[in-house]
């Protein structure tokens, strides 16, 4: 079945850029998402990208998609302590008929 | 305001005592699902529902039941809870149109003693 892989931990210094990577196996993936989970909270959608796009930028967030390598990344510029959270990558084939497949999440720790 | 609500938010119970976790959404979404989150295992889907009276098993359905009698509600039922069902549970919804964004509830932390 489909699989989504992420590294489990990332530690960066405040003010540096963070890059969280994700790989997926389903070549039919159409929508790819990044979710953020702060301690004790639910998952919050950060951003998403369609498979026909290479890049999407939204303020401090940049999503890069390499469809050939099935590789997705999330770059957070000027990382702040408030960015400390677990970040989940997810993918799905369509807009609503199939479940999202989630990675196990990357725990980002920001050191002041 | 778009909302997914879950109740209760925290629950401590004993083995074998039936419980229900409710989930309600106000976005008129067709698709609803339940996940459990455990350390090191990420999110695992328990059950999902494509629409009223349509439910299907996810990756870890054993020990759980669901029902979808109304579009807005999707309760998760544990008929005979066991300690291995101690976990953090999330309800989520998606609309069938558009970019398919999935919205999550705030979570229910369940402890089974």
User: Poorest-confidence range of A13-22, B51-60, B91-100?
Assistant: B91-100
Average pLDDT over residues A90-101: 75
Task: Using a CB–CB cutoff of 8 Å, tell me whether B31 touches chain A.
Answer: yes
pLDDT at A29: 79
CA dist., res. B38 & res. A77, Å (int): 29
- What's chain A's average pLDDT? 90
Q: How far is CA A13 from CA A84, A100, A111, in A?
A: 11, 32, 5
Task: Using a CB–CB cutoff of 8 Å, tell me whether B39 touches chain A.
Answer: no
pLDDT of residue A1 exceeding 70, the answer is no
Task: Using a CB–CB cutoff of 8 Å, tell me whether A52 touches chain B.
Answer: no
Chain A closest CA to B109's CA: distance in Å?
9
Average pLDDT over residues A37-54: 89
User: Poorest-confidence range of A88-92, A103-107, B25-29, B97-101?
Assistant: B97-101
Determine, for residues A43 and B90 on separate chains, whether the beta-carbon distance falls below 8 Å.
yes
pLDDT at B106: 93
- Per the CB < 8 A criterion, the answer to whether B23 and A77 are in contact is no
pLDDT of residue A99 exceeding 80, the answer is no
Average pLDDT over residues A10-18: 97
pLDDT of residue B108 exceeding 90, the answer is yes
Average pLDDT over residues B64-78: 97
Q: Find the CB nearest A96 among B90, B92, B96.
A: B96
pLDDT at B100: 64
Percent pLDDT > 90 in chain B is 79
Task: Using a CB–CB cutoff of 8 Å, tell me whether A110 touches chain B.
Answer: no
Instruction: Find the closest chain A residue to B48 by CA distance.
Output: A99
pLDDT at A9: 95
Please give the residue that has the higher pLDDT: either A18 or A91: A18
pLDDT of residue B98 exceeding 90, the answer is no
Q: How far is CA A43 from CA A18, A27, A33, B46, in A?
A: 19, 25, 12, 17
pLDDT at B99: 62
Q: How many CA atoms lie within 13 A of A17 on its CB side?
A: 9
Q: Give residue-wise pLDDT tens across range B30-54.
A: 899 999 999 888 899 999 998 999 9
CA dist., res. B93 & res. B100, Å (int): 9
């Amino acid at each position: 079945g489909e699989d989504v892989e992420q590294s489990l931990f990332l530690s960066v210094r405040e003010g540096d850029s963070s890059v969280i990577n994700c790989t997926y196996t389903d070549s039919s993936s159409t929508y790819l998402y990044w979710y953020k989970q702060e301690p004790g909270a639910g998952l919050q959608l950060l951003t998403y990208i369609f498979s026909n796009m290479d890049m999407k930028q939204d303020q401090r967030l940049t999503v890069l998609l390499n469809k050939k390598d099935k590789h997705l990344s999330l770059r957070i510029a000027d990382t702040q302590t408030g960015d400390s959270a677990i970040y989940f990558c997810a993918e799905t084939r369509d807009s609503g008929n199939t479940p999202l497949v989630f990675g196990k999440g990357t725990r980002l720790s920001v050191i002041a | 305001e778009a909302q997914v609500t879950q109740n209760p938010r925290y629950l401590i119970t004993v083995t074998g005592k039936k419980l229900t976790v409710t989930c309600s959404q106000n976005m008129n979404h067709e698709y609803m699902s339940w996940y459990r989150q455990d350390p090191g295992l990420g999110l695992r889907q328990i059950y999902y529902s494509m629409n009223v009276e349509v439910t299907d098993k996810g990756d870890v359905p054993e020990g759980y039941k669901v029902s979808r009698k109304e579009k807005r509600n999707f309760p998760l039922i544990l008929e005979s809870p066991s300690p291995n069902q101690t976990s953090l549970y999330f309800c989520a919804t998606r609309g069938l149109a558009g970019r398919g964004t999935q919205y999550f509830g705030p979570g229910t932390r369940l402890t089974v003693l």
